[in-house]
Amino acid sequence: MTPARVLVLAYGNPGRRDDGLGPACAAAIERWQVPGVTVSSDYQLTVEDAAAAAQYDVVLFVDAACAGPEPWALRALGRATDAAAARRTGGVSFSSHSAAPEDVLALAALLFHADPAGYVLAVRGYEFDEFGEGLSPAAGRNLAAALAALEPMLRNRTLGADAAPAGGPVAAAAGSGTDR
Amino acid sequence: MVASTTNGLKRVVIEPVTRVEGHGKVTLLLDEQNKVHQARLHIVEFRGFERFIQGRPFWEVPVLVQRLCGICPVSHHLAAAKAMDRIVGGENLTPTAEKMRRLMHYGQFFQSHALHFFHLVSPDLLFGFDADVAIRNVIGVAAKYPDLAVQGVMMRKYGQEVILRTAGKKIHGTGAIPGGVNKNLSIAERDFLLKDAEQMLTWSRGALKIAKDYTVAKLDELKDFGSFESNHLSLIGPGGEMDLYHGGLRAITATGEKIFDHVDYQRYLDYIAEEVRPWSYMKFPFIKSLGPEKGWYRVGPLARLNTADRIDTPEAEAARREFMAVTQGKPNNISMAYHWARMIELLHSMEKIHALLHDRDLQGTDLVVRGPRREETVGLIEAPRGTLFHHYVVNKDDQIVRANLIVSTTNNNEPMNRAVQKVAQDHLSGKQLTEGLLNRIEVAIRAYDPCLSCATHALGQMPLEVELVAADGTLLDRRTRG
């Protein structure tokens, strides 16, 4: 069986302290050089990410979290077609130019007729309000914990395209940090 | 959010804290008759940038400033590069350098305007202001108008491809350096971009038609929607033509009289000042000669259409003439006309990209110039959402010692407040915040395409929250959205 093609879409602003958790995570994953895993890093998600997401079996979104579980949380979003159905009754953006992970998945289904499975890895951060490069020490520790859990998932493809029922349990083996 | 009571006035607070773009809220101050007395749009602007950049070598600045914004990093990159050109005495760029920068800039305009129109505005236009918010969004557009939504995505993607090939990277580009650029456009890169250029022109015409037809058809309804008279400000080319990259400053009144013209922006402080108000982190710029009460102005697509005598690309110029005919050649002060103006600029940007891709100067190899060094400098550029000011002082050790930025959204601070106030005055009745009012406040603010992404973004921030609080502190109404 062909291993799932995985796209890591990490986002955040490295010039805003812990908001850089996503790009820092992307840089680490890239260094692993896992076959079949493509890494993309940007300030934020936007609609054209849907075109890229449509080319993969699994999309892992990686972002900083300013609230929620420590040190990290992994949430299964389900398949793109499920996201499209759910988002049709979802919310509206006030003035954001960015897209939510669910929007990217939904657009991949609606516009490009693809059906990747999606996950969100949310790494908890603490300092967001000031300009400055570098993660806070606590965020750095959270990132290390997230990476330690994530590496075997990517290498072993635990984040499988078939392991992400909408709203279902995450495929993560780690007990701490999971979020449903 | 519950607001305190001042001078017997009630406050309606709308706190649209989006997940990604930080904090912003609207406070509506009511008088004793429950009429809207004043609107206050609070946007938490970036903080600490001056400290962040102090002590950094000046040549790092065009890259560092891209940290300011995830939506318009190229505008900051180019404004800072223009400023640093003067530090190295290299402001008279080689043809290759200037055209590479312009190509990058038009790519930024193209992707930014396309994203705003298709992602944020088209749901309002296609479904109506009062459509269910559950469908009045980009997913709703994708479900009902998939061809249009695909166009939006692919236009945004094309603009990003232009940026990648001129700035060297999709994000944190390094293409513009003090005194020039660090790369030209290879033949292969040119041919890659040319491949889809005609398609992008076609789609740009289609987007312009949607915006124009909508505005013309609903002109009676839109002309008063969040509208008011204002001054307008932008860069302008030497012949009075629209120039998004370089020129002098022109300011006009609401009826078109020139307040100043072809002003060298190195002297902007002689003409522009910023007022601080205690309730807002964001300053309020104004034209000095008119004072803070009458000197505030609009920037961005609407202002640029109003200040320009002409546009130097044929299709956009024809569209400009149609646009100006609606107001008999006088400045257009209709807030919702921003969308039509923005789509004229979208087409103009694509016409410029198309022409530049056929210009052999882009394959030139003379990339950088130097001249007499300076220690203080201003870089100005028209960003997609308006005029962007970068002002720096550099010491003899090449370190930044002072920086002052006026970003486009700050320039539009007072106009956005006015737009919200007008909408609230027209649509708030009684003591209830209706969905209709919320919708209209959002639509009015969106017309200005404010960039809130100078704030941080992270998972877990709050959705839109609206509360209506009586003078005695009683919560009258509360709504959340998002």
Q: How many CB atoms lie within 10 A of CB A49?
A: 28
What is the arithmetic mean of pLDDT over A14-27? 91
CB within 8 Å: B451 and A97? yes
B476 or A92, which is more confident?
A: B476
Q: What is the pLDDT of residues B171-192, one digit of tens each?
A: 778 999 999 999 999 999 999 9
8 Å CB contact between B174 and B168: yes
Burial B445-467 (b: 16+ CB within 10 A, else e): bbbbbbbbbbbbbbbebeebbbb
3-state secondary structure of A123: strand
CB within 8 Å: A92 and B119? no
Minimum CA–CA partner of B156 in chain A: A48
Q: How far is CA A2 from CA A5, A156, A161, B331, in A?
A: 9, 12, 11, 62
Partners of B391 in the beta sheet?
Answer: B378, B404
Residue of B14, B18, B20 for testing the chain A interface, max A β-carbons within 10 Å: B20
Is the model's pLDDT at B16 over the cut of 70? no
8 Å CB contact between B406 and B285: yes
Q: What percent of chain A shows pLDDT beyond 70? A: 81
Q: What is the pLDDT of residues A41-55, one digit of tens each?
A: 988 888 889 999 999
State residue A165's pLDDT score.
34
pTM of the model: 0.89
CB within 8 Å: B153 and A43? no
8 Å CB contact between B432 and A60: no
CB within 8 Å: B157 and A18? no
Minimum CA–CA partner of A68 in chain B: B460
Q: Does B332 touch chain A (CB under 8 A)?
A: no
A94 contacts on B by Cβ (under 8 Å)? 16, 18, 24, 442, 445, 464, 481-482
CB within 8 Å: A93 and B18? yes
Alpha helices in B45-94 (DSSP H): 49-53, 61-64, 73-87
pLDDT band at B459; cut points 50, 70, 90? very low
State residue A117's pLDDT score.
95
The residue with tokens 């790494």 is A123
A90 contacts on B by Cβ (under 8 Å)? 134, 137, 139
3-state secondary structure of B60: helix
Distance to chain B for A68, nearest Cα, Å = 7
Asked if the ipTM is above 0.90, the reply is no
What is the arithmetic mean of pLDDT over B3-12? 46
8 Å CB contact between B110 and B162: yes
CB within 8 Å: A93 and B137? yes
State residue B466's pLDDT score.
53
State residue B112's pLDDT score.
93
Distance to chain A for B269, nearest Cα, Å = 26
Q: How far is CA B80 from CA A127, B83, B171, B257, in A?
A: 27, 5, 16, 31
Query: Could you tell me which residues come within 8 angstroms of residue B218 by beta carbon, excluding any fewer than 6 positions away?
Result: none
State residue B261's pLDDT score.
98
Of chain B residues 4-43, which have a CB less than 8 A from chain A?
A: 16, 18-21, 24
